[in-house]
Amino acid sequence: MIMRALIISLLSIGTIAAPAAVSAADEPIQPIEAAKPKNENMVELGKMLFFDPRLSKSGFISCNSCHNLSMGGTDNLQTSVGHNWQQGPINSPTVLNSSMNLAQFWDGRAKNLKEQAGGPIANPGEMAFTHELAVDVLRSIPQYRARFKQLFGSDQINIDMVTDAIAAFEETLVTPDSRFDKWLKGDKQALNQTEVEGYKLFKEVGCTSCHNGAAVGGASFQKFGVHEPYKTASKAEGRFGVTGKDADRFMFKVPTLRNVELTYPYFHDGAAATLEEAVNTMGRLQLGHKFTKEENAKIVAFLKTLTGKQPQFTLPVLPPSTNETPRPKPFG
Amino acid sequence: MIMRALIISLLSIGTIAAPAAVSAADEPIQPIEAAKPKNENMVELGKMLFFDPRLSKSGFISCNSCHNLSMGGTDNLQTSVGHNWQQGPINSPTVLNSSMNLAQFWDGRAKNLKEQAGGPIANPGEMAFTHELAVDVLRSIPQYRARFKQLFGSDQINIDMVTDAIAAFEETLVTPDSRFDKWLKGDKQALNQTEVEGYKLFKEVGCTSCHNGAAVGGASFQKFGVHEPYKTASKAEGRFGVTGKDADRFMFKVPTLRNVELTYPYFHDGAAATLEEAVNTMGRLQLGHKFTKEENAKIVAFLKTLTGKQPQFTLPVLPPSTNETPRPKPFG
C-alpha cells in the first residue's frame, strides 16, 4: 500500500510537470541551463588568466581581447587583430556557450576548451608567446603561485594547470534565460507572433537540421556551400586542414546561434555584416531556398530572441609583476 | 548655562578626536576619501564608453586598453600600443586617482578629465578615430541613445556628452583604504617599522616637496633632471611642448605615487622597470642624494603601502551595433 501510494504520488507529480517538459523535449532546441561551477576558486583563477595580457608576448593581448565578454564573447571584427597588428585568418568564434561545442575552433582542431586555450597563446599570429614563457611570467608572481598551489597542490605552475583554469572559467560562460528559452519552458508571452512564426519557419525550411540542441549549433561539422559553392577570399578549408581528407574540404563546425545578435559579423570569414545577409546566404547555399523579405525578417526576429543573460562578474584585479617577472616585448 | 555646557561638550568631543586628526593634518600626505558619485547613471554610461572599443577606428582599442583597470589603470608597458600597433611616444599614466591631478597628460595639456577623454579617441597614433565618427557609432545604437537622452535630455549625442560621461566614471576611480591611509588615520599597526622608517626618510630627503597631498603627486609641474640631466631616447619635452617657453623644457607633471606598486614601468619614458631603479634615479637627479641599498629598500617598502583598494565593478555588457552602425576598420 505504501509503495502504491508512492507510485501514485510520483505519477501525480509527473502529470503536473509533464506538459511543459514534453513540449520542450519535442523541440529541436533545448533551453540552456545556468552554469554550476564545480570549483569557485578555479573559476576565479581562470577569470584572472582570461583577462591577463601577460600571457601574450606584447603584454597587450589577453583572451578577452578577441573573446570580449562585453561584446558577446567576440571582437565583432571580420577577422581578429593579432600580435603586431597581424590580420587573423578567420573570424573569432564566441566563447559564450562554447563548452557545448563538439570541438573547438572552426575546424574543430582542439577537442575541448582546455586544448583550445593553449592555442592562441602560442600562435605567432595571435598572442605570439610560448607556453614556457607564459608560465615563467606566472611563476614569478607570488599571488599566482599561491593560487595555483591552493588548487593544484603545487606552485610549480605548468601550462596544463593554466589551461585547466581558463577552461573552468569558460565553462561558466553560458547564457540562460533568453526570451526563447522562457518560451520553450512554457511562458508563451515571451515571444511575439512574428518571432514564433520565425521559429516555425526556421524549423520548416531545415535550419534545425544543423542548428539544434541547447547551443542551437556546435554539435556537428557541415559543408559550407551545399547547393552552390561559398565564394570567399578566405583560405580556410575547414576540417580538411585537420584531417587532410578531400571529403572534409569546407567542412566547418556549425556555429552556435545563441546570442547571434551580439556576435556579428558572421561566417568563418566574417563576410556577412548583418543577420539579414547571413540568413539569406545560408538559405541559398545550404538549403537551396530563397527567403522572401518577409520570411527573412521573421527568422531574424526569432534569432534575436536567442540572446541570453550575459555572464555578470566583477572585473578581476590582477596581481602585479615583480622584479623577477620577464617584461613584455610589444615592439621587438 | 546651557550654552556653556554645550561648549564644554563640544570641546570634549574635540579633545577625544584631536590626536588622530591633528596628526594626519600635520603630514604632507593626506588619506584618499572614497568616491561619492553624483549621478550613478552617468557613471554607468561612462563605464560602458570606457570599455567600448567602438570609440576607436579599429574597433579594437578602448580607454581600458591602455588604462587597464585590472592593472592599476595602466598598461604596464614602457609606451603604449596604438592603432596599427604604433608605438606611443610616452608612458600611459594611471587613470586611478587622476581626478586629483592639477591637469591631465604628462605635459598637462588637458585641463581636466573631460578634456583628456577626447584626446586619445582622435589621436592618429592611439585610437585613430574622429569625434564625429565616434559619435556616429553611438547614435546608431538605440540603447546608447536612450541612455544619453535620459541623462542629457536629448539623444542628439555629441562628443561633449561622451567626454562628460567618461570623466564621471573616471572620477569614481579612486583607491582609498591603503595601508598607509589606515596608518595616517591612526591605525599604527597598519605599517611595520621598515615602512614607517621609509616614510620618514621619504620626507627627510625631500620627496614630499613634490609628492604630497592626497594623491602623493599630481599637484605641480617640476623639472625632470635638477641635479643632473635625465638621459633618455624620448623626444618628450614636457610643458615646453604646450607653452613653447624655454623655462618649461622638461617640466613634467609630478605623477601620483598612489598604487605605484601596480603602475610600473616608471617615468614619462617608462625607462625604469622597477621601483628600486626609479627611487635611485629620483634621488640622484632630483635631490642630489645617493640612496644606500638599505635606504632604497625602506622607501620602496613605504611606497608599496600606497596601494589602495582597487575599483570593484561589474564588467559592462555593451549594446550591440545595428545594421546602421558604421563598421570598424582595423586593417585599412
Chain B residues touching A316 at Cβ < 8 A = 70
**Mean pLDDT of all residues in B97-123:** 97
Residues of A with CB under 8 A from a CB of B: 51-54, 58-60, 65, 68-72, 75-77, 81, 84-85, 87, 261-262, 264-265, 273-274, 276, 310, 312-318, 320-321, 323, 327-328, 330-331
A324, part of any domain: no
B215: nearest Cα among B100, B107, B94: B100
Question: Do residues A189 and A167 both lie within one domain?
Answer: no
* Range(s) of the domain holding residue B301: 179-306
Distances (CA, A) of B86 to B83, B95, B103, B118, B127: 6, 21, 26, 19, 10
A12, part of any domain: no
Chain segment A35-48, per-residue pLDDT in tens: 999 999 999 999 99
Question: Do residues A277 and A202 both lie within one domain?
Answer: yes
Residue type, B28: P
Chain B residues touching A328 at Cβ < 8 A = 76-77
Which of B49, B84, B85, B303 would best serve as a mutation to test chain A binding (most A beta carbons within 10 A)? Answer: B85
Which of B44, B81, B143 would best serve as a mutation to test chain A binding (most A beta carbons within 10 A)? Answer: B81
| pLDDT score of A24 | 67
Q: Give the separation between CA B212 and CA B218, rounded to whole angstroms.
A: 8
pLDDT higher than threshold 80 for residue B6: no
Look over chain B and give the mean of its residue pLDDT values, rounded to a whole number. Answer: 94
B159, part of any domain: yes
Neighbouring C-alpha atoms within 13 Å toward the C-beta of B192: 6
Cβ distance B320 to A264 less than 8 Å, yes or no, reads yes
Chain segment A143-163, per-residue pLDDT in tens: 999 999 999 999 899 999 999
B323, part of any domain: no
**Mean pLDDT of all residues in B179-202:** 98
**Mean pLDDT of all residues in A280-286:** 98
Which ipTM value was assigned to this complex?
0.92
Does the annotation count B126 as an active-site position?
yes
Residue type, A38: K
Q: What is the DSSP string of B20-56?
A: HHHHHHHSSS-PPPPP--S-HHHHHHHHHHHT-GGGS
pLDDT higher than threshold 50 for residue B20: no
Question: Do residues A156 and A197 both lie within one domain?
Answer: no
Question: Do residues A146 and A183 both lie within one domain?
Answer: no
**Adjacent-strand bridge partners of B223:** B251
Q: Give the separation between CA A325 and CA B304, rounded to whole angstroms.
A: 17
| pLDDT score of A332 | 83
Q: Which of B171, B193, B225 is the last residue of a domain?
A: B171
Residue type, B119: G
Pick A81's closest partner by Cβ from B58, B70, B75. B58
- Continuous H helices in B61-190: 63-66, 113-122, 131-139, 142-152, 159-171, 179-184
**Mean pLDDT of all residues in B185-209:** 98
Residue type, A286: Q
**Mean pLDDT of all residues in A121-134:** 98
**Mean pLDDT of all residues in A208-221:** 98
Question: Do residues B230 and B147 both lie within one domain?
Answer: no
Question: Do residues A157 and A194 both lie within one domain?
Answer: no
Residue of A nearest to B314 (CA): A314
Give per-residue burial for A216-250: e unless 16+ CB within 10 Å, then b: bbbbebbbbbeeeebeeebebebbbbbbeeeebeb
Rg of chain B's alpha carbons, rounded to an integer?
22
B240, part of any domain: yes
**Mean pLDDT of all residues in B255-273:** 98
Q: Give the separation between CA A66 and CA A126, rounded to whole angstroms.
A: 9
**In degrees to the nearest 10, what's the CA dihedral of B213, B215, B220, B225?**
110
Question: Do residues A197 and A154 both lie within one domain?
Answer: no
Question: Do residues B135 and B92 both lie within one domain?
Answer: yes
Residue of A nearest to B49 (CA): A70
Cβ distance A77 to B85 less than 8 Å, yes or no, reads no
Q: What is the DSSP string of B8-28?
A: HHHHHHHHHHHHHHHHHHHSS
Question: Do residues A195 and A285 both lie within one domain?
Answer: yes
The C-alpha cell at B287 is: 635631490
Chain segment B129-173, per-residue pLDDT in tens: 999 999 999 999 999 999 999 999 998 999 999 999 999 999 999
Distance of residue A219 Cα from the nearest chain B Cα, in angstroms: 26
Distances (CA, A) of B54 to A91, A255, B217, B329: 17, 24, 33, 10
Could you say which of A27, A33, A126, A277 is catalytic? Answer: A126
Cα B146 to its chain centre, rounded Å, is: 30
Distance of residue A291 Cα from the nearest chain B Cα, in angstroms: 19
Cβ distance A318 to B70 less than 8 Å, yes or no, reads yes
Chain segment B224-235, per-residue pLDDT in tens: 999 999 999 999
Which of A8-22, A257-271, B195-209 shows the lowest mean pLDDT across its residues?
A: A8-22
Please, which pLDDT band fits residue A243 given cuts at 50, 70 and 90?
Answer: very high
Please, which pLDDT band fits residue B332 given cuts at 50, 70 and 90?
Answer: confident
Question: Do residues A103 and A194 both lie within one domain?
Answer: no
Question: Do residues B73 and B186 both lie within one domain?
Answer: no
Could you say which of B126, B170, B197, B295 is catalytic? Answer: B126
Q: Which of B171, B205, B229 is the last residue of a domain?
A: B171
| pLDDT score of B81 | 98
CA quadruple A121, A123, A128, A131: dihedral positive or negative? positive
Question: Do residues B119 and B76 both lie within one domain?
Answer: yes
Number of domains in chain B: 2
CATH of the domain at B263: 1.10.760.10
Cβ distance B327 to A72 less than 8 Å, yes or no, reads no
Which of B60, B64, B83, B264 would best serve as a mutation to test chain A binding (most A beta carbons within 10 A)? Answer: B60
Chain B residues touching A303 at Cβ < 8 A = none
| pLDDT score of A322 | 98
pLDDT higher than threshold 60 for residue A6: no
Q: Which residue has the cell 608599496?
A: B304
Distance of residue B326 Cα from the nearest chain A Cα, in angstroms: 11
The better pLDDT of the pair A13, B56 is held by: B56
Q: Which of A130, A155, A171 is the last residue of a domain?
A: A171
| pLDDT score of B69 | 98
Distance of residue A121 Cα from the nearest chain B Cα, in angstroms: 18
Please, which pLDDT band fits residue B23 given cuts at 50, 70 and 90?
Answer: low
| pLDDT score of A23 | 62
A204, part of any domain: yes
A221, part of any domain: yes
Look over chain A and give the mean of its residue pLDDT values, rounded to a whole number. Answer: 94
Chains A & B: contacts with CB separation below 8 Å: 99
Residues with Cβ within 8 Å of residue A25, at least 6 apart in sequence = none
B313, part of any domain: no
